[in-house]
Amino acid sequence: MGEDQLTLKPYFPEHYPLLCQWWDSHGSLRASRSDLESGIGLVAESDSRPVGACFLYVTGALGFIEAMVISPDSTVSKSRKIADTLFKELHKIAKAEGVNKLIAFVQSKGMVRECSRSGFTQVGPPMAQMVQTI
């Protein structure tokens, strides 16, 4: 598989230690293992290696995207592609679940930019809350 191709797979608890390493590397808060397991988790892979993850939680017509993390080894352009791929797939899943509004909770300025590129609108500091009508 080429380096530019990403595949998406379900999150499994075995991914948790790696995601914690990434959150620590970025200086971000860790999501709890139990919180991740209660959501719909996706892991992006490149060359059969995890490079990013994100989680969707659905409550009726409202969906929450949280705990997105991307490998600190990824370049800026690769990080953008990973985020875009994860957002697009979670968007499809959310629509299929009957969600008509997504809220993304993100911790970094980079993730705020990625949310904005994906159609979200920032609604308040200090932790950016990004909202998208779908």
Look up the pTM and report it.
0.84
Note whether residue 57 is domain-resident: yes
> Is the residue at 79 inside a domain?
yes
Question: In this structure, is residue 28 part of a structural domain?
Answer: yes
> Range of 124's domain?
7-133
Taking only the tens of pLDDT, the chain with its 134 residues reads 445 799 999 999 999 999 999 999 998 889 999 999 999 999 999 999 999 999 999 999 999 998 899 999 999 999 999 999 999 999 999 999 999 999 888 777 777 888 888 888 877 665 566 778 88
Q: Is residue 2 part of a domain?
A: no
107, part of any domain: yes
Whether 1 is in a domain gets the answer no
SS (H, E, C) the chain: CCCCCCEEEECCHHHHHHHHHHHHHHCCCCCCHHHHHCCEEEEEEECCEEEEEEEEEEECCEEEEEEEEECCCCCHHHHHHHHHHHHHHHHHHHHHCCCCEEEEEECCHHHHHHHHHCCCEECCCCCEEEEEEC
User: Any idea what the CATH number is for the domain that residue 56 is in?
Assistant: 3.40.630.30
Our count of domains for the chain comes to 1
Residue 122, pLDDT score: 79
So what's the pLDDT on residue 1? 43
Position 11 scores a pLDDT of 97
